A and B are shown apart, each in its own frame.
Chain A
Amino acid sequence: MKALHSYEKAPCVRITDANAAGFFPSGLEYNTPARGMWNIVHTGMLLPEAQQIFVCAQGCLRGVILTAAEMNALDRMSWVSVSEQDMFDGTLEQKVIDGTADILRRLGKKPRAVLLFLSCIHLFAGCDFEIILRELSGQFPEIDFVDCYMTPTMRQTVSPAAKLAEQLYFPLRPLPKDPKSVGILGNDRPTDVHSELVQIIRNAGCTLRDLTLCHTYDEYLQMADSALYITYTPVTRSAGEKLTQRIGGRHLHLPASFEVQTILENYRSLCEALGVAVPEFGENIREMHAALDAAHDLIGDREIAIDFTAVSRPFELAKLLAEHGFRVRHIIADAAPEETEAFAWLQVHVPDLMLYAATNVNMLHFHEEPHPPVLAIGQKAAYYFATDHFVNIVMNGGFYGFSGIVSLAGLMEDAFRNPKSRRTVLRHKGWGCESCLG
């Protein structure tokens, strides 16, 4: 890599020279061939017995359709393409209605719900989504239609992922609240059953409801009976807020953290909401420290790289690892808005930590440069540092709390000992989803 001052837009910065609100100027963007992060199609497929129908330009359709194709789920994906003329001839809404209705009439089995996605150009054209939904609901009263949005142009206002996390629960209708029913919202995979979070819920005698555990649409609808809803990743927070505003219940946002005090505070909040005593976590914390120390004994001075797709709080993880002696040298992320304390701590205690822009064009050849051996946490870190020794998770991997950190330490040990086929793993779109790529 060239000297940083020689770039028009440098792709990396030392943490001591960075501001937590944003590390890099915007610019053209490069797409890393690390495909594990879920997109809105993967997430939409979580809704049982639902059909996704995308209405957009061919270029936008292509990606979502082939996402479904690679998941072996084309039978749950349909589309209506939008032409240039459609945008200007006054038929925008009617084309959506007619195309969607035609698809539904031709489908062999009617879905229970339709996730109907419009795109950026519809919103810019002032498309009346309400009329579309009203008309379709009139034609197909047995189907729940959900307005969904593939609007990456608006990603800095509301990201498509956050918006879909909200909309996925739109069909839930108010039910009598069951104080022994708890819902976890917005995740792409179940929360680890061994986590303290799930154990607290179970030990309180509560039923845990989670879309990722639902096999039928009726099971999904039953999520409306929860008296308490939990979210723990940044993109799902508004889903909890919106749902409880609409159908009642209490929402707790318990961020997936790597700070002991934050985790303890989360559990205190949960226990208070459930009306149960707060368990003693001393042993859990000791186990966590022991697992990290054991991992460090094995991994030693190997450089560690972390990226933002692996965990929702990479700077807290970096701090935790650094406190246990790990040589954390690289973080791929663009900002640390929810981790200002960990960020400030790292500036003082790991001043040579380097931050890298995930999409900067000058990262194009970074993976070809000579790198010292690195253990990566996350797919983008594995790609950029060209290492087969990596922890392959996205969005926290279903792990949470002290037990999650123990699991992560175990995955780091495994990654250190056992190289993966990087190319094969990184090609797989939507980690954890079925894939025809083998």
Chain B
Amino acid sequence: MKNNATIIPCYAADTAGVCSALYELGGMTVVHDASGCNSTYATHDEPRWESLQSDIFISALTEIDAIMGNDEKLISDVTAAAADLHPGFITVCGSPMPMMTGVDFDAIASEIERRTGIRTFAMHTNGTRSYLDGASEALLAVTRAFANPAPRDPKGVNILGATPLDLYTNGTAESVRGWMEKQGFSVKCCLAMSDRFEALSHLGEAAVNLVVSACGLPAAEYLREAYGIPYVCGIPVGVRFTVILAEALHKAAASGENAAPCMAHRGEGHIYCIGEPVYAGSLACELGAHLISPVTDDRRFLAPGDSAASSEEEIAEILRNAEHVYADPLYRFILPPEAMLHPLAHFAFSGRCYEHTIPNLICKEISL
């Protein structure tokens, strides 16, 4: 696989996934990095940065501290900031330089927790992986730590994997919640948009979990294992797929069986959806299209005929006979001239460039 591109961007990285997933939960997240991770995240990966303050910081790692392995600087700086800001929990995560120097984040988190008395998580990010990896680890960590056993509500549901990187801040998460309530469900926790820390304690009350992006799956699997809550993968985009998803949710709640309707239907034509596999896969079901998932090659999200191509050249090759492509506008550079691009800006790809055009497709008719 080629790891280069002449013109298209790369997706957000694992560190951004951690920060995005934890943004609204009242914790303090610290990326152990010199400079770039925070400015990149704040500028290009976080649409809430200006409107909703969150304790997301960098350690401002320096050359001498990296060389000397001065972990004490990170620990004492986090401890000092925690004393000033009183976060509900603390998360420390890695970037490329700590990867090079072999920083032991588990030990650092343990020491910070000992000094502050605040629950502290270590994230094993290194800036080289997908945002989905980081968000997955973060959501799993808070689910493990803060979900509690509770009496089951047969109409209870959790939404797992909601971050602006995939759903943006255009009301999509709220529309999913509203749609669930119309289906007769009661949303216990939306992990992790629009609900606060307290909602985590209600995770165990749900009868079923709706996984709306791939980063929600590890938490869903944990809740399945620990609490017996089944999960359904999909997001209610379009009209036909929305009906399929609703049926799957009711069935899962009743039977306790997992389901992945976002992989259930693919077409035969030259129609492609590119993006995060739950969202783009759900869209592919609605349209009878094929899925290209550049952000994860997790086979649990890929139907026969789907692709996890991630390089510019590979994706261009798959699309050489494409007729319709539903993808971020920045994919236009590698489409064949005869293909029609249906622009669906994806914040995890093009950031702010087209953010005001990102549609809320929940329960909306989508046609060629």
Which residues of A does B touch, CB under 8 Å?
7-9, 26-31, 33, 35, 56-63, 65-66, 69-70, 74-75, 77-84, 87, 95, 99-100, 102-103, 106-107, 119-121, 124-125, 150, 152-157, 359, 361-362, 364-365, 368, 423, 427, 429, 436-437
Complex CA–CA separation, A77 to B5 (angstroms): 9
Q: Which of B11, B64, B81, B330 has the most CB of A within 10 A?
A: B81
Contacting pair A28 B100 (CB below 8 A): no
Given contacts A28-B59, A29-B60, whether A152 and B34 have CB atoms under 8 Å apart is yes
Given contacts A59-B96, A62-B10, A124-B100, whether A361 and B81 have CB atoms under 8 Å apart is yes
Total chain B interface residues with beta-carbon distance under 8 A:
67
Q: List 27 A-B contacts (CB under 8 A).
A: A8-B83, A26-B60, A28-B59, A29-B38, A29-B57, A29-B59, A31-B43, A31-B58, A33-B42, A33-B43, A57-B95, A57-B96, A58-B11, A58-B13, A59-B40, A60-B37, A60-B96, A60-B127, A66-B9, A70-B351, A82-B96, A87-B99, A102-B4, A124-B101, A153-B66, A362-B84, A423-B50
Residue on A with the closest CB to B99?
A84
Contacting pair B57 A30 (CB below 8 A): yes
Counting from the closest, the 6 A-B pairs by CB-CB distance are: A59-B127, A63-B40, A59-B13, A152-B35, A8-B80, A152-B34
Chain A residues, Cβ within 8 Å of B84: 7-9, 361-362
Which residues of B does A touch, CB under 8 Å?
2-16, 30, 34-45, 49-50, 53, 55, 57-64, 66, 73, 77-78, 80-81, 83-85, 95-97, 99-101, 126-130, 313, 330, 333, 350-353
Residue on B with the closest CB to A120?
B97
Chain A residues, Cβ within 8 Å of B4: 78-81, 99-100, 102-103
Given contacts A31-B39, A78-B5, A107-B6, whether A364 and B53 have CB atoms under 8 Å apart is yes
Chain B residues, Cβ within 8 Å of A437: 352-353
Residue on B with the closest CB to A37?
B39
Chain A residues, Cβ within 8 Å of B16: 59, 62
Chain B residues, Cβ within 8 Å of A429: 43
Contacting pair B128 A59 (CB below 8 A): yes
Chain B residues, Cβ within 8 Å of A364: 53, 55, 85
Contacting pair B81 A60 (CB below 8 A): no
Contacting pair B10 A106 (CB below 8 A): no
Chain A residues, Cβ within 8 Å of B50: 33, 423, 427
> Nearest Cβ in chain B — how far from A34, in angstroms?
10
Complex CA–CA separation, A153 to B55 (angstroms): 22
Residue on B with the closest CB to A33?
B50
Contacting pair A62 B44 (CB below 8 A): yes
Given contacts A57-B96, A74-B330, A429-B43, whether A153 and B61 have CB atoms under 8 Å apart is yes
> Nearest Cβ in chain A — how far from B187, in angstroms?
30
Choose one: B5, B39, B128; the contact of A84 (CB below 8 Å): B128
Contacting pair B81 A156 (CB below 8 A): no
Chain A residues, Cβ within 8 Å of B39: 31, 63
Contacting pair A66 B77 (CB below 8 A): no
Contacting pair A65 B6 (CB below 8 A): no
Residue on B with the closest CB to A100?
B4
Contacting pair B127 A436 (CB below 8 A): no
Q: Which of A57, A77, A359 has the most CB of B within 10 A?
A: A57
> Nearest Cβ in chain B — how far from A125, in angstroms?
7
- 8 further contact pairs, Cβ within 8 A, besides A28-B77, A69-B351: A28-B58, A58-B10, A62-B13, A62-B44, A65-B10, A106-B313, A120-B34, A155-B35
Complex CA–CA separation, A213 to B66 (angstroms): 40
Complex CA–CA separation, A59 to B16 (angstroms): 8
Residue on B with the closest CB to A11?
B84
Residue on A with the closest CB to B63?
A154
Contacting pair A27 B80 (CB below 8 A): yes
Complex CA–CA separation, A64 to B20 (angstroms): 19
> Nearest Cβ in chain A — how far from B58, in angstroms?
5
Contacting pair A157 B95 (CB below 8 A): no
